Structure 1
Amino acid sequence: MQNHGLGAWLSTRRQKNPEKVALITGDGRSMTYRKLADLTDAMSGLLWHRGVRRGDTVAFLGENSPEFLMTLFGCAQLGAVFVPVNTRLAPPEIAHVLRDSGARVLLHDAAFGERVRPLVDDAGLPHLICTDGQATDDPGTDHPSTDDPEPDAAPGLREQLRTGLRGHVDVGVGPDDPAVILYTSGTTGKAKGAVLSHGNLTWVSLNTLVDYDLVSSDVALMISPLFHAASLGMGALPILLKGGTMVLEQGFDAGRALELIERHRITMLSGVPTTYQLMADHPSWAGTDLSSLAKLTCGGSAVPSRILEAYEARGLSFSQGYGMTETSPGATSLAPAMTREKQGSVGLPHFFTEVRIASDADGTVAPRGTVGEIEVRGPNVFLGYHNLPEPTAAAFTPDGWFRSGDLGYLDEDGYLFIADRLKDMIISGGENIYPAEIEDQLYGLDGVTGAAVIGIPDAQWGEVPWAVLTVIDGHEVTTEAVRAALDGTLARFKLPKRVVVIDELPRTASGKIRKADLRARFGG
């Protein structure tokens, strides 16, 4: 075998554990490692037949599904690059991802057909494939679909797998070759594609196996979208590497999540504080059997004491952590045993990762307890930003450490504490929101002369974006009008929760808006 990347994983699992259940779908169907590997081979053959070659990009717009994983690993077999698209993006944002990545093929769930068809010509896509959500039968099996095809859709994936060329395509792939491009909201208004290599994703999986004690008997409930770095790099991939089982959900509902935990004896669950809060507040919480749960991981922001207490009362505790898309995404983890002793910390560096605090741009190491920029080094740190050499160079120190853009400090025991976000990023329900992206749109609205977007604490989402504006005298701007104007241009989770108009935005001597002043004024 020439493939020494992710493309070899499923064929190896098929050999070692062919009848082990790899996936359980939302409707209760199971798929063994043999079937998943066979379908992935068929997918790689289909993509090859569509002209996909080493280094080409293939985009996927859809919810958690076997098709998502088949496409990811099918691309990996060919040395092609997988580009998962956030399903919450607005059409202009999707178009940017497709154009910037240069995707040759877009696979999409039927639900997104109307959204993507107008973008095909604009993005220059040679091939569009509708997954139809049912590509879980063995290739070649005569099992007609009971679903009506989407009107005017391209032939469904199931049909193309049956009629296309099949067979495993073995292409030489190494650890340093690109595997995935994950688009992260840009600080300058455009999303940037973070390029993760096969080695990056392998090492972050190993970090997860080591620091979270994953075992082959683990059953993970995947309620977070696989297009997010955390769900992919620290959820799906390590589970498949270890030979565990995933229960794939296409969305999160607290009551259903509790039901699935009990039904499938879930051992592993990942989410953000909002996820765990909604579950603890659900009427079924007290009566649900949670005895199988052994590993709860939480990211996005610190777990509030109220949530810690609710889970501790059920004999459960959390592993918390810190990271970003560019680190695949794990950088640090806090073991459950240290949750109370080091409350507020995001933990120690992952096993194969290093973290330091720099006091200046040259990477001078700050003393313990001193706040500085958090910098990360390790085999899980990304290759760079797609087709953006200058931002890539700026993201690294002269000696090769990744500049996170976040401020923090290490205590005397080496535990990391986050002090502030240097880039003003807002984290709302686990989604990263960059104010510049919203501000760029706000400046295009009639009457707006100044705009600043800030994160305001929210009991449910952790933070929500507020827009603080200055406008032309006599011009009236309302929250409803601004949200309506931006809806369809930005994803809805990025729309300002509230719009406030003030006389003058506070600025530094150089003219930069003092967002800290605005956060202090409006409750941030």
Structure 2
Amino acid sequence: MRQHGIGAWVAKRRLRSPDKVALVHDEQSTMTYGQFADAADRVSAVLRERGVGRGDAVAHLGANSPDFLAVLFGAAQLGAVFVPVNTRLAPPEIAHVLADCDARVLIHDPDLGAPVASAAPVAGTRHVIVTGEGTAERPGLAPLSRTAPAFTGPVDTSHQDPAAIVYTSGTTGRAKGAVLTHGNLTWVALNCVVDYDVVSTDVALMISPLFHVASLGMGALPVLLKGATMVLEKGFEPGRALAQIERHGVTMLSGVPTTYQLMADHPNWARTDLSTLAKLTCGGSAVPTRILDAYEARGLSFAQGYGMTEAGPGATALPPSMTRVKQGSVGLPHFFTDVRITDASGAPAPRGEVGEIEVAGPNVFAGYHGLPEATAGAFTADGWFRSGDLGHLDADGYLYISGRLKDMIISGGENIYPPELERLIEAIDGVTSAAVIGVPDERWGEVPWAVVTVREGASVDTDSVRAFLDGRVARYKLPKNVVIVDDLPRTASGKVRKTDLRARFGG
């Protein structure tokens, strides 16, 4: 057996630290590494009984839980491909993900039965399993795991084999599946172990959803690789997060600026014992000075970074020691990753000159699932991934982000791509054209606004646009405001000048 993929991790942890607590969940419930490896084996057995083998897609729709991770590793042991599905997606978006990856099995939480019932038949998903006990008519994952034939062991897997497909919204409006190999996920975890100094005695509080690649690749995987302990939260509530830090002696915490701000604003902030916290990482957008001040007053500093789904997702990291010295920077390339800046001709740009950010390394994805042309267009001739973002490197090699070629909006850590919304808004009766931009927001970093032109006499406003979109896209994508204008500013070639719109409306 040559199991070189992440599927080998659980068995190796069972040998090395079987009695060490791996997961804390549902208040005080714990699962050791030995128990977790057994759970992954049982999931492998359930999947194998349903014909899952090498290359088959296994989707999971649910909150942070031991089941989420058991499905990930249970699939990996079979050489299958894990597909985490964002629980905030609307049924048509879920159906697209399931159909695009041709999911053989979907495992979902009980409270998500309604969107699954709508999406799975459309996608043609062959097996749908609910977590927990289920019903007598439709047994859940727990009883199926108890009655499945014994797992006979993992299949051979290499670092080149696909391990996961993580869907990221595309500029065309349809989500694209980024294929991450076993090697990609291994090197992402190793980058975090090196640059964030993850150790086996760490206790990591997981307040961000694992279906996001940052939480999965840079949160859960390094912790499990090192044999540390993870406290799983089904959702984020600032007061509860503070209580969990004190209760479990949390040493590691990852989040986006919004989550950190909400914690600092909570009435329990000043009286919560944060003395065990040693490692804070923040992504999604730069940490505002007011948040830095609040945490530094408690003796805490942030590591910050930059990345994208296609890099699994880490590309750079700014250590806490450089937070103030290099304020505004997203740091140096991760230890096993390279970053360069190129000019409009594709040639390397001099230090200090703004150009496109390109990334290379063993953590960079294999390509977009089923989209060879998009994959080819995402890479340069010499194999660097073209991020579509603009930035520059200073004299010391630290990266600074200047803008986004793709006009992506990051709202509360969620990526929103305007073309998806624009296509739908322009289908509303009375709307003649639409442009979606990101507008700064104190709480969420950015929120989407729609700027539209309408037919004379048409009745279009914020409420009607949001009502039309609700159920078609995730709720975090709904525009917070709709502005009606006479004309959209355009270039000579007819493209909307979004820079003009952002300048006009506060972007």
For normalisation by structure 2, the TM-score amounts to 0.99
Identity of aligned residues (%): 69
In the other structure, the counterpart of 1:506 is 489
CA distance in 1, matches of 2:369, 2:27: 37
Instruction: Spell out the pairing of 1:210-289 with structure 2 (5 A cutoff).
Output: 210-289=194-273
In the other structure, the counterpart of 2:35 is 35
Q: What secondary structure sits across from 2:100 in the alignment?
A: helix
Instruction: Spell out the pairing of 1:15-54 with structure 2 (5 A cutoff).
Output: 15-54=15-54
Instruction: Spell out the pairing of 1:242-391 with structure 2 (5 A cutoff).
Output: 242-361=226-345, 363-391=346-374
Instruction: Spell out the pairing of 1:156-195 with structure 2 (5 A cutoff).
Output: 156-195=140-179
Q: What secondary structure sits across from 2:353 in the alignment?
A: coil
* 1:301-323 deviations in Å (ceiling 9; x for gaps): 00000000000000000000000
CA distance in 2, matches of 1:461, 1:32: 36
Q: What secondary structure sits across from 1:374 in the alignment?
A: strand
RMSD: 1.0
CA distance in 2, matches of 1:151, 1:493: 36
1:123 deviates by 1.0
CA distance in 1, matches of 2:211, 2:150: 26
Aligned partner letter, 2:83? V
CA distance in 2, matches of 1:243, 1:79: 23
Show structure 1 runs of 5+ residues with no match.
Answer: 133-144
State yes or no: 1:431 paired with 2:425: no
1:360 deviates by 2.5
CA distance in 2, matches of 1:292, 1:22: 18
* Correspondent of 2:478 among 489, 495, 504: 495
CA distance in 2, matches of 1:98, 1:27: 32
Aligned partner letter, 1:446? D
1:150 deviates by 5.9
CA distance in 1, matches of 2:128, 2:387: 36
Q: What secondary structure sits across from 1:117 in the alignment?
A: helix
Aligned partner letter, 1:158? A
C-alpha contact (below 8 Å) 1:55/1:79 kept by paired residues:
yes
In the other structure, the counterpart of 1:78 is 78
* 1:126-161 deviations in Å (ceiling 9; x for gaps): 1010002xxxxxxxxxxxx7xxx4697x31100100
In the other structure, the counterpart of 2:375 is 392
Aligned partner letter, 1:18? P
1:118 deviates by 2.7
1:120 deviates by 2.5
1:3 deviates by 1.3
For normalisation by structure 1, the TM-score amounts to 0.96
In the other structure, the counterpart of 1:55 is 55
C-alpha contact (below 8 Å) 1:185/1:192 kept by paired residues:
yes
C-alpha contact (below 8 Å) 1:356/1:375 kept by paired residues:
yes
In the other structure, the counterpart of 1:104 is 104
C-alpha contact (below 8 Å) 1:298/1:319 kept by paired residues:
yes
CA distance in 1, matches of 2:242, 2:121: 43
Aligned partner letter, 2:402? A
Aligned partner letter, 1:279? M
CA distance in 2, matches of 1:168, 1:513: 58
Instruction: Spell out the pairing of 1:127-166 with structure 2 (5 A cutoff).
Output: 127-132=127-132, 149=134, 154-166=138-150
CA distance in 2, matches of 1:36, 1:318: 31
CA distance in 2, matches of 1:202, 1:70: 17
In the other structure, the counterpart of 1:117 is 117
Cα–Cα, structure 1 residues 358 and 151, in superposed 2: closer, same or farther, change >3 Å? Answer: farther
Q: What secondary structure sits across from 2:103 in the alignment?
A: coil
In the other structure, the counterpart of 1:479 is 462
C-alpha contact (below 8 Å) 1:448/1:469 kept by paired residues:
yes
CA distance in 2, matches of 1:170, 1:150: 30
